[in-house]
Amino acid sequence: MTIKITKNGLTIWNETSQEPALTQSSWPDGTAWESDEQALAWAELYVLSQNENHPTVPGDNPQTPEKPRRIRPKHPETGEEIGWSEFYKLEAEAIHKTQSDSE
Average pLDDT over residues 47-63: 88
List, as one string, the DSSP characters of 64-97. Answer: EEEEEPPPPPB-TTT--B--HHHHHHHHHHHHHH
pLDDT at 103: 65
pLDDT at 50: 86
Give the other-Cβ count within 10 Å of 96's Cβ: 10
Residue 99 has pLDDT above 80, yes or no: no
